[in-house]
Amino acid sequence: MASEITYAEVKFKNESPAPVVKGPPETKKPEQHPQKYPLWLPWLISLLLLLVCIALVVVLLVLPFCHSSDQPSALQQQEFSEQFSEWECASAVPQGTDRGWMCCPKGWRRFQGSCYFLSTDTMNCAESAENCTGMGSQLVVITSSAEQKFLTKQGGQPQKEINFYIGLFEVDDDQWQWVDKTPYNETAAFWRNGEPSNGHTENCTAMHLPEGNLSNWNDVPPTTEVYRICEAAAVIL
């Protein structure tokens, strides 16, 4: 007879609890604060500061020359005026300008908004144009009868005949052009009787003085050595 096997449940009081496995401590995420200002704000502030600096420069350097009641003394800043150290200025009240003075280099003659230089030495046509350019000007461009009348009166003593180059050239057969590309108007030209003469060798223009009327232009060969009239815009301050 087989013996019976008895099973009994045995509990041990001193049994150690199962170890608890701990993972790495959680890293605390930094708190995200909302941005207090837009990204473009520093650029805007820099731009405003730059504009303030420019405004200060204008106030300190430019305005004193525009509103000074004394004759200006800093004309060297102008491109034309860099060529000269002495100036003659007159009030520039007309045409509603708030600037105080209209200036020409000493020895030049002013009419309306231009300055004119009548030379005391003679040169050929190309040399005359080059000489005017070297002074920041050009051979005179005559656009009105008032200007022609003014220049005709500047020619010197009535008993002395004298010729001045002006800035009118023949660029093709019977095609005339001003040195600054101003359109040539034949009806507003002041040629002497019978001028300009037909020919290919007389392609420069001289003003002949004295003359009994305003029609005193004459076409001459470019090798002719005569006086010259240079013109530049007056400096207004």
14 within some domain: no
Q: CA torsion sign, 197 to 202 to 205 to 207?
A: negative
Assess if residue 98 is contained within a domain: no
Which is nearest to 142 in space by CA: 189, 174, 90? 189
Q: How far apart are CA 188 and CA 166, in angstroms?
A: 15
pLDDT score for 144: 95
Could you list the residue range(s) of the whole structural domain that residue 144 is in? 117-236
Domain count, the chain: 1
In order of 39, 47, 66, 195, the CA distances from 43 in angstroms are 8, 6, 33, 68
Which pLDDT score, from 0 to 100, does residue 1 have?
Answer: 46
Q: What share of the chain is helix, strand, coil (3-state, %, to 5)?
A: 25, 25, 55
Give the Cα separation of 209 and 214 in Å (integer). Answer: 10
User: Is 201 a domain residue?
Assistant: yes
pLDDT at 192: 94
Task: Give the model's pLDDT for residue 37.
Answer: 64
Closest to 179 (Cα-Cα) out of 225, 219, 132, 220: 132
Examine residue 213 and state whether it is found in any structural domain, yes or no: yes
Digit-by-digit pLDDT tens for the chain (237 residues) are 455 554 445 454 455 555 555 555 555 555 555 556 677 777 788 888 888 878 776 655 544 444 333 444 343 344 566 778 888 998 866 555 556 788 999 999 999 999 999 999 999 999 999 999 999 999 999 999 999 999 999 876 655 789 999 999 999 888 999 999 999 999 899 999 999 987 778 999 999 988 878 999 999 999 999 999 999 999 887
Amino acid at 140: V
How high is the pLDDT of residue 42?
Answer: 79
Structure pTM?
A: 0.65
Is 165 within the bounds of a domain? yes
Query: What is the predicted pLDDT for the residue at 157?
Result: 60
Residue 226 sits in a domain whose CATH number is 3.10.100.10
Rounded CA-CA distance 94/220 in Å is: 39
Residue 3 Cα to chain centre, angstroms: 127
